[in-house]
Every structure is written in structure tokens, then in C-alpha cells.
């Protein structure tokens, strides 16, 4: 990796000196970089101090990743939520490893570890395992009394008499994952968790949300249909405070680093990857994308592989939305799942507004990641009658796109409201996400012009 050649300095806020006497991280002053060393004199100082970092202590983003950007210290960024963001990213990194292992097992053995929920959508052992794992990590890190979580899964299906085998496999999966927590800089249990402890971790995710207070929002595995097919899916974690999404993390284990690979089914790549050796830009890399509200930045890390340990920020680089604002040049993300959205309306709308490029067919919240990385410009979802959008399907993706420079609203141009509980209450027709304000304005106008003629 190239190195920054000049020395630079940043002023450490007084509140940081008072609150972090033992461990000072550069994340606390506004960037995802560790300061190599900080003296006791600095840590105990009563006034703001200047910390100088030499050229040998600064790292750049891996040149193997597209669109290389440099990380620089910015003293003006607030330190709030940096600890929460770092823990969330580490937890999602670990959850992605869990999902990869379960998916490989499902695809290779087709061993029946796929069940159906009451709404007939498939759910796997990975859904519950990720929920239990992330819930346990958050409670251990911040204290169970300080952690409130909204999540998609509950323990009802695991309480049925015929679920004993699934429950045993899930407990084993959780414990296997948590033994590797130190690799990700996270706590691990002294002894393996028992069945009751794992069920308790899942049951902890019983928050009802609302406009006051702080709660986490977790979709342990979004795009389960893609997951069981060996294709795309996402792990999504967000933090909401007083009705506002303040940070979001999206784990995208099957997201290739190269845009061209998005057009191929993962099964095709599995065949090709066996014929060609992996490279630093191979499909298997995957990524975790994250952002903090008000920072004006979104970041992407590669997933860990093999026996690697996560050293923050794990070769993170800044990502941005596309600069395309002409509908004729824009690329449209199309949901693969058809059950809860109207493909015919969105296809007609895309044509009427002038979108001519071949659309990208994408599972899950990966659509938000695709726009944030600049690989597409438009995502629209208009639910069928009777379906209500849940906040865990949107919270993490919305803040990431916004901080990457994009716009996300309902079809009336209003911000999505995450303060009404588990549903996006008051949603005007649907969700519209765009790479920029000009393109967004054109799409909103086309929705208004086409809506009355639709059958939604």
C-alpha cells in the first residue's frame, strides 16, 4: 500500500480526553483509523492537545479496490456514535462469516435446514443464528439494560415440538461463530451458550420502536430467497434514536467488487471460480458498507477471509453515488422478488421517464448498496395493496445512500418515517431512491404523472 508522505495533526476534543483515558481510537475524532500510540500526558491533559501522526503510521486504502480514496483526519466531525458504529460493523462482519458458512452448507448439501414462516417466506438457520449472535454481542458490549432491538425473527417457530433438530443446529452455529469473535475484536462467551441463553438473545429483540429513545434495527438475513438459492442477500443493522436513523451497516457477502459480475447469477460464478484462481478483486471478496448520519461519508470494507483478523478499519474506502443525472443514462435496480411489489408499474414508470439501460435484477437490501457504490442510479418499490413496509428492510440502506450523496424518500418526496414502530407508517405510495437530487426530482414527477393510470 502507498503511504501518505506528509505529517499532519489534529486536535483531540476535551470531552474525548476526559471520557477515554485508556483507549484512544481515531474513530473517536472522526475517521475509521487507529492512532498508533497516545501518551499518558495527552490522555490526562485538561486542555485540548495536538496529536501528530507520522507518515509511517498512516495507511491508504487498498489499491486492489476500485475507485481508490484516501482517509484523512478531520477534526470537525463529531465523535458521537463512533463506538456504536465500530461495534456494529464488527458484528456484521462476523454475521457475514456465519451466513457464508451456512449458505455453503445449504447449497452443497441441500440438507433441509430451510423452513417456512407464517407468511410463507423461507427462513433458514442463519436468520435465527445471526439474530442471536448480534443480540448477544450488543448486550455484552453495551449492557443488556442499555440495548433495545427490533428484529425480524421471533422464537415461536423454534418452540414447536418438531423444531428440536433445528434448534440444536442453531445453537451450535451460534457458538461456533462466537468462538471466533476475538478475530473481529468482539467479546466471546467464557463457556458455550446453552439453548436457553440463545433463545433469550433472540427474544431480547422485542422492541416496538417509536419516536423516543434509542433502539437497534436488525434484519438478520434480508433476501432469504436469494440466500437459499446460493445468490445475493444482505445482513442489515441500524441504530435509531428519537425516530432518526443515526447509523447503518449493510453486510453484502456475495456482492462482487466488479460491477459486471452483478449481472451474473451466483451459481454461474461458482462454476467459473473453480476454473480460475481467485484474485484480490474476485467475487468472493464481498463487502460491508456503513455510514453515520451527518458525516457526509459512506465507507466500504472487504470481508475477512481465512484466518485474517479485523484491524480497524480493514482497508476501508469511501464510496459515493453515481454522478449520472440523465434518465437515459441511468441504471434501474429491479427487485427479484415479486410477491410484495408491482413490477409492471415500476417497469412502465422506468420506460416513461426514459430509463433505457438494461436493469439490474437484485435481491434484498443489496439494492441500496448498489446505488451507494455508484453501480446503479435508481431503485423504486411500490408495494401491492395490503402490504406494509417494515423498517428493518430500509433503515440501514437509507442512511448509507444519503451519506454517500444520494436521496431516499417516499413517492411524495417526503423522508421515510422510522418513528412509528415496526412499519413505515404514512408512506406515500412507495419508496424512491436515487443517486442525486436532479434525477430524484424527475422520477418523483414521473410517479405523479403515471399513478392515476395504474391499478395499484
Q: Which residues are designated catalytic?
A: 127, 224
Contact predicate 109/102, CB 8 Å: no
Q: Report whether 393 belongs to an annotated binding site.
A: yes
Contact predicate 275/261, CB 8 Å: no
Residue 120: asked if its preceding bond is cis (omega within 30°), the reply is no
Torsion of CA 346, 338, 303, 399, to 10 degrees: 50
Tell me which residue of 62, 52, 59 sits closest to 3, measured CA to CA.
59
Alpha helices in 333-391 (DSSP H): 343-353, 366-372
Q: Report whether 219 belongs to an annotated binding site.
A: yes
Torsion of CA 263, 266, 270, 275, to 10 degrees: 0
∠ CA 181-182-184, nearest 5°, is 70
Q: Report whether 152 belongs to an annotated binding site.
A: yes
SS3 per-residue string spanning 144-167: HHHCCEEECCCCCHHHCHHHHHHH
Count of helix runs (H) and strand runs (E) in the chain: 12, 16
Contact predicate 352/98, CB 8 Å: no
Strand spans (E) along 91-203? 114-116, 122-124, 149-151
Cβ-proximal residues to 165 (8 Å cutoff; 6+ apart), any chain: none
Binding residues: 152, 219, 221-222, 393
Binding residues for Mg(2+): 152, 219, 221-222, 393
Amino acid at each position: 500500500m502507498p503511504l501518505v508522505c506528509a505529517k499532519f495533526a489534529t486536535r483531540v476534543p476535551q470531552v474525548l480526553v476526559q471520557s477515554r483515558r485508556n483507549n484512544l481510537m481515531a474513530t473517536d475524532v472522526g475517521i475509521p483509523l487507529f492512532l498508533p500510540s497516545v501518551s499518558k500526558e495527552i490522555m490526562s491533559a485538561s486542555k485540548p492537545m495536538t496529536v501528530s501522526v507520522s507518515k509511517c503510521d498512516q495507511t491508504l486504502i487498498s489499491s486492489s479496490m476500485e475507485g481508490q480514496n484516501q482517509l484523512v483526519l478531520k477534526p470537525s466531525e463529531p465523535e458521537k456514535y463512533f463506538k456504536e458504529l465500530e461495534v456494529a460493523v464488527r458484528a456484521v462482519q462476523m454475521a457475514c462469516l456465519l451466513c457464508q458458512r451456512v449458505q455453503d452448507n445449504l447449497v452443497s448439501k441441500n440438507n433441509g435446514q430451510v423452513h417456512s414462516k407464517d407468511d410463507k417466506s423461507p427462513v433458514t438457520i442463519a436468520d435465527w443464528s445471526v439474530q442471536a449472535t448480534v443480540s448477544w454481542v450488543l448486550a455484552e458490549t453495551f449492557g443488556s439494560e442499555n440495548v433495545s432491538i427490533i428484529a425480524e425473527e421471533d422464537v415461536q417457530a423454534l418452540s414447536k415440538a418438531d423444531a428440536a433438530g433445528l434448534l440444536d443446529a442453531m445453537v451450535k452455529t451460534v457458538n461456533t461463530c462466537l468462538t471466533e469473535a476475538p478475530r473481529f475484536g468482539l467479546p466471546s462467551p467464557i463457556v458455550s451458550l446453552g439453548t436457553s441463553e440463545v433463545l433469550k438473545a433472540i427474544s431480547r429483540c422485542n422492541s416496538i420502536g417509536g419516536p423516543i429513545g434509542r433502539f437497534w434495527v436488525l434484519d438478520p438475513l434480508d433476501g432469504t430467497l436469494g440466500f437459499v438459492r446460493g445468490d445475493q442477500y444482505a445482513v442489515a443493522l441500524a441504530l435509531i434514536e428519537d425516530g432518526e436513523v443515526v447509523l447503518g451497516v449493510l453486510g453484502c457477502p456475495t456482492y462482487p467488487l466488479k460491477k459486471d459480475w452483478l449481472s451474473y447469477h451466483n451459481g454461474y460464478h461458482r462454476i467459473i471460480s473453480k476454473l480460475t484462481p481467485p484474485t484480490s478483486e474476485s467475487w468472493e471478496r464481498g463487502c460491508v458498507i456503513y455510514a453515520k448520519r451527518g458525516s457526509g461519508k459512506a465507507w466500504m470494507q472487504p470481508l475477512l477471509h481465512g484466518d485474517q483478523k479485523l484491524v480497524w478499519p480493514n482497508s476501508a474506502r469511501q464510496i459515493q453515488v453515481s454522478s449520472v443525472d440523465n434518465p437515459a443514462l441511468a441504471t434501474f435496480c429491479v427487485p427479484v422478488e415479486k410477491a410484495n411489489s408491482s413490477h409492471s408499474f415500476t417497469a412502465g414508470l422506468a420506460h416513461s421517464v426514459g430509463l433505457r439501460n438494461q436493469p439490474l435484477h437484485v435481491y434484498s437490501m443489496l439494492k441500496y448498496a448498489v446505488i451507494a457504490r455508484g453501480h446503479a442510479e435508481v431503485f423504486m418499490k411500490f408495494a401491492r395493496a395490503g402490504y406494509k413496509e417494515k423498517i428493518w428492510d430500509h433503515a440501514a440502506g437509507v442512511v448509507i445512500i444519503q451519506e454517500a450523496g444520494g436521496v431516499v424518500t417516499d413517492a411524495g418526496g417526503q423522508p421515510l418515517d422510522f418513528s412509528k414502530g415496526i412499519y413505515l407508517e404514512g408512506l406515500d405510495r412507495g419508496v424512491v431512491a436515487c443517486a442525486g437530487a436532479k434525477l430524484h426530482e424527475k422520477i418523483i414527477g414521473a410517479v405523479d404523472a403515471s399513478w392515476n393510470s395504474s391499478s395499484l
